[in-house]
Structure 1
Amino acid sequence: MFNLFQIIPKSLMIISNRACYGVLRFIMESGAKGCEVIVSGKLRAQRAKSMKFKDGYMISSGQPVNEYIDSAVRHVLLRQGVLGIKVKIMLDWDPKGKQGPTTPLPDIVTIHPPKEEEHYIRTPTVVVPAEVAAVPIM
């Protein structure tokens, strides 16, 4: 679906919020329903830390994760140490199956229009008890 090497910038020596938000914007404009980028390692200081960038709608549990989430992990070797990049992309539902899974999400509710009903005119029926019916009327 998405090639991770096209998305992540070539120069990761100085990773910044601007670069990660640019990646998020590119992924969302490409037709994804949601995405998450996690960059961890020694970013600016000697102490390692992790930064998360999220946009859109992302599911994280259940069977649809296997169908809807496309994820990749890459390690970048820098002079200071190793930088880890995780990218998770949630694909949109595609009935034809070209850009995403063919099965819809299980929590989607479809409301169908009401059916046309024929209106019947009902004549009331009178039920007469047997004792009253047996008495002759004069």
Structure 2
Amino acid sequence: HSGDPINDYVDTAVRHVLLRQGVLGIKVKIMLPWDPSGKIGPKRPLPDHVSVVEPKDEAVPAHPYSEQKGAKPTEPPAAQA
């Protein structure tokens, strides 16, 4: 385990038992599930969590048109008196 999610998502416990033959050690790591409400797990999502946003509805144009982008608009010549 590495990175910041180990602080939120992994619950670790270590126990040592003294026996006649020596010491027996048990280490357990449990990864908690993501819970948006924060009741049974971490509220922050994992860094690799991807959320897809639905695209906005766009109005379909009635007739085709074109736009000049990046070019300066031409101004009509000034009327001389």
Pairing 1:1-138 to 2, within 5 Å after superposition? 60-120=1-61, 121-123=63-65
One-letter amino acid matched to 1:119: V
| CA pair 83-122 structure 1, distance change in 2 beyond 3 A | same
Deviation per residue, 1:46-78 (Å, 9 max, x gap): xxxxxxxxxxxxxx1111110000001100111
Instruction: Compute the RMSD of aligned alpha carbons.
Output: 1.7
Q: What's the TM-score, normalizing by structure 2?
A: 0.73
How far apart in 2 are the matches of 1:85 and 1:124? Answer: 71
Corresponding residue of 2:71: none
Structure 1's consecutive aligned runs of 4 or more residues displaced over 2 angstroms after TM superposition are 121-125
Any idea what the Cα deviations from partners look like across 1:2-60, whole Å, max 9, x if unmatched? xxxxxxxxxxxxxxxxxxxxxxxxxxxxxxxxxxxxxxxxxxxxxxxxxxxxxxxxxx1
Unaligned runs of at least 5 residues, structure 2: 68-81
**Gaps in structure 1 of 5+ consecutive residues:** 1-59, 126-138
Count, aligned residues: 66
Report the TM-score when normalising by structure 1: 0.44
Once the 2 structures are TM-superposed, how far is the Cα of residue 108 of structure 1 from its aligned partner? 0.8
Shift of 1:95: 1.2
Instruction: Provide the identity percentage.
Output: 62
Higher helix share: 1
**C-alpha deviation, 1:98, in angstroms:** 1.4
